[in-house]
Amino acid sequence: AWVRQRHLEPGISSASAFLAAATQRTSRIELGTAVIPIGYESPYRLAEDLATVDVLSRGRLNIGVSAGRPLHADLIAPLVFDGDWTGFDFSHDRVLRFADNLRGTYLGDEQTLIKTPFGPQRPRLQPYAKGLIDRIWYGGGSQRSAEWAGRNGFNLLTGNVITGEGTDDFFMAQSRLIETYRAAGTQRRVALG
């Protein structure tokens, strides 16, 4: 069961909040986000929230994300960002930072410790959701994004919002997108949403 996160549109504005509730009412179906436009999100805070959802679901979460200038930026961005948001980084780098946070890598060196109520701890994203890094899906709608997703080892989530790039035939466009993804050297999963 996949949910679509969008702002200013009827539906779900926070996939993590909705799916956290769904984890308490389901026990076997996989849950997914299709897709979270990462432009408005903090790659670290989003990773924390979704890792929590994955732990609550006992490892059933799939995360779909996309990069690029988010929808309705002229209306929402001044409410989200301090200062001039037009120079803000909406690139694939945000997705890579998000994924790096989910890897559970410790921050600092081996001597870096933080004080917690549980005693000194090596700092890393909490909770750590082992295996979640392998359940990231990139919402690819162009040949460039499909190649990028494959090259970076993400699963590919495609849908009806794609650029035909030389064809008006939906099935041909999808086929080419998947071919480009596979040519990037990955055997990861592909889904049509």
Q: What is the reported pLDDT for 11?
A: 85
Q: What is the pLDDT of residues 137-158, one digit of tens each?
A: 999 889 999 999 999 999 999 8
Of 3-7, 49-53, 72-76, 143-147, give the range with the top mean pLDDT. 49-53
% of the chain residues with pLDDT over 70: 99
Cis peptide bond prior to 127, omega within 30° of 0: yes
Count Cβ neighbours within 10 Å for each residue of 41-57 and write b for 16 or more, e otherwise: bebeebbebbbbbbbbb
Average pLDDT over residues 43-70: 96
Q: What is the reported pLDDT for 92?
A: 96
Q: What is the reported pLDDT for 128?
A: 95
Average pLDDT over residues 103-126: 95
Average pLDDT over residues 1-20: 92
* Residue of 186 and 30 predicted with greater confidence: 30
HSE-up of residue 43 (Cα within 13 Å, Cβ side): 17
Q: What is the reported pLDDT for 151?
A: 96
Ramachandran class of 140: left when φ > 0, alpha when ψ lies in -120 to 50, beta otherwise: beta
Which residues, 6+ apart, have CB-to-CB distance to 117 below 8 Å? none
**What is the pTM for the complete model shown?**
0.91
pLDDT score of 159 more than 90: no
pLDDT score of 115 more than 80: yes
Which domains does the chain carry?
2-125 (3.20.20.30), 140-193 (no CATH)
Helix extents (H) in 85-169:
92-102, 143-151
Q: What is the pLDDT of residues 15-42, one digit of tens each?
A: 999 999 999 999 999 999 989 999 999 9
pLDDT score of 161 more than 90: no
Query: Which residue in 124, 7, 128 sits closest to 70, CA to CA?
Result: 7
